[in-house]
Amino acid sequence: MTASASVLSWPCRLLALAALGMPLLAQAADPPPTPTRDEEAELADALAQPVYGSSRLGAASKRAEDLVTAPGAAAVRTGGEIRAQGYRTLGEVLESLPGVHLRYDRAYSYAGLRGVTRPGDYSSRLLVLVDGIRANDPLFEAASMDREFPIDVSLIDRVEFIPGPGSSLYGSNAVAAVVNVITRSPAQLAGGQAMLSVGSHRQRKATASWGGSWGDSRVLLSLATENRPGTDLRFAEYASPQNPEGIAHHRDGERADKLFAKLQQGGLRVSLALSQRRKEMPTGAYDTAFDTPAPWVDRYASLSAAYTRAVGPSSTLELLAHEGRYAFAADTLTTEGARVSDDNASRWLSGELRWRYTGWAGHRLTLGVETQRNRRQEIDVDTQWPDGSTSAQRALGSNHRHGLYVVDEWSLWPELLLTLGLRADRRTDGSHRTSPRLAAIWSPTPAWTFKWLSGTAYREPNFSELSYADAVQRRPQGLQVESLRSHELVLLWRPAEAWQLQGSVYRARVTDVIELVARDDQLLNYTNRGGVHVAGATVEATWVSRGGLQLRGSASHQRVHDAATGQPLANAPRQQFKLALTSPTPVPGLGVGMNLVGVGDRPLAGGGSVAGYRRLNARLSYAPPGSPWDAALTAYNLLDARYADPAGPEHRQPTLAQDGRSWALQIGRQF
């Protein structure tokens, strides 16, 4: 049995058992005709959250707070807006945020944050949390955001986005931004719900969920499965006498299966997430033989618990614990006729203890300790050559890291708040690192807030970057830690309840940038490329009418260039803009959602640039009042814009064409 199969065989079996047991659980559970006091409070909190906008935030200071006092240019996307716009993945939610652009290489989506995204980094400068718990795996430190992300988008209550350095609270990987995905509660999904979606190119998806009381606990259980058979794709770089047009025939298929369960009782919350995603690679990346089967499989398992308890009138303790397992497997044929079996697996345990104290006048103190034990990190690459000989590349290891942090939110005057933060980390290589942060927040009037932010962040080389090797990639020598120092000025203006405008101006310097490059012998290798300078500005304005119509627009201008040569970096657009409309209509239950994403020209690593694009999505949803049925029709890339994303050095193609117009019809029912 392969390493990845042994690591995650138990989640697959549990997924099957859960699918069979959901109806029995619903029958066995106690009926909830009379909500408990906790349920009433939870439901009231859920109903109080606006459908189209919310200022609640938890990730900027590891506590619930308003956007005004958050130490950053933070933004929130609620579950109501996510569903009204028809976003299908976490990546599409992030793309709606100012200063974020995506690159899709037919395997994964990668987030460019304020213009910074480098080849081979798997968005590892972005830290993703699920309900406050780190979701980046320790093997690739990847910030998953496509269908490999273990939480189905229908289960998201809100997404919190805090751009800028966050290592003073979170340690490694919180370099460019922190994203906190808050999942929905049993009160928000009470009873049974089912949804079926079909779309162009034979795409189909089904979800089923149940939420309610089970004894003294509140329980949520959800299943989701999605299948996209894929279509023919043309890559002129692979044209040959046998394949004159360079067509990959139905090599872009994808299937994702997910289970999520949550149990809440008093101050305790326990969550389980299991997922498996299989994606066919159509692009011939990493010297894969073109137009041959090339499945990539991601498996993820997560079990987490969080407990909160008040200790006296001024103190609160929070305890978080997590066990995670991640595995990646690929079985491909190379252009030389070799069969490559790639099995990578990881297992890790993490925990965090936080203490909050508000007994000192004018101070809110948070003290925390965090630890992560990477119990197993395994890379296993076996190659069988056409002559029958074999070769193997193996790496096996374990390590751990610890962090101690303190944050003091000090109210000097009613209109001036200082946030002072410092974290000390023991890294996985045994070295030590400190990450300070300073935020000064001044609100001279209720409508105006100014923030000055300064901080540092870092990213360790992950196990894959340090250890992976095969026929096309070599291990690096002396790979260094990547560091960032940033300064930012933020303006927040709220002249009325319906209006909000937030703008920021920032500068940052990244040193020892880690990226994947092609060497002179054409082999791939991770290396530190030197320094990168980042400078830019973003602005986002939101208006919400009394009738529920929301208009939001943002614009970003950024310059990202090599510190030594002054040349712009590849895949770093100068301009971006976003527009979104979410609105009810005169017809009861009928709603409209439209969003436009615009990205400017992006330089290519080999010279030249790829043209910018404008992409419009539109959604029409209908949920008749009093009816258990609902429906939605969504058109993606409605105007059929033709555009491409830059490819990495692992591809023969300099650019990769993106999808044209597609549609999806969704039917749902509550039970």
Task: Assign residue 214 the CATH number of its domain.
Answer: 2.40.170.20
User: Is the pLDDT higher at 65 or at 277?
Assistant: 277
Q: Note down the domain range covering 118.
A: 3-670
Residue 453's pLDDT is 96
- What the block records as the tokens of 442 is 């001044």
Q: Give percent of the chain above pLDDT 70.
A: 91
**Sign of torsion over alpha carbons 121, 564, 609, 91:** positive
Residue 161's pLDDT is 94
pLDDT (mean) for 118-127: 85
pLDDT band at 109 (very low <50, low <70, confident <90, very high): very high
How many structural domains are present in the chain? Answer: 1
Lowest mean pLDDT among 5-19, 106-120, 473-487: 5-19
Residue with tokens 């780190």: 134
Residue 14's pLDDT is 42
Q: Give percent of the chain above pLDDT 90.
A: 77
65-77 pLDDT per residue, tens: 888 888 889 999 9
Q: Among 588, 595, 670, 593, which Cα is nearest to 622's? A: 588
Residue 51 reports pLDDT greater than 90: no
pLDDT (mean) for 530-535: 92
132-163 pLDDT per residue, tens: 999 999 999 999 999 999 999 999 999 999 99
pLDDT (mean) for 446-469: 94
Q: CA angle at residue 173 from 89 to 442, to 5 degrees?
A: 90
Residue 56's pLDDT is 60
- Residues forming beta bridges with residue 394, ordered by sequence position: 380
pLDDT band at 27 (very low <50, low <70, confident <90, very high): very low
Residue 331's pLDDT is 94
User: Which one-letter DSSP state was computed for residue 86?
Assistant: T
Residue with tokens 């054409």: 522
For residue 483, the one-letter residue type is S
Lowest mean pLDDT among 22-31, 63-72, 335-344, 514-523: 22-31
Lowest mean pLDDT among 35-39, 223-227, 294-298, 526-530: 35-39
Q: Among 294, 237, 333, 142, which Cα is nearest to 656's? A: 237
Q: What whole-number distance in Å separates Cα of residue 352 and Cα of residue 350? A: 7
Q: What whole-number distance in Å separates Cα of residue 112 and Cα of residue 571? A: 8
Residue with tokens 């939001």: 552
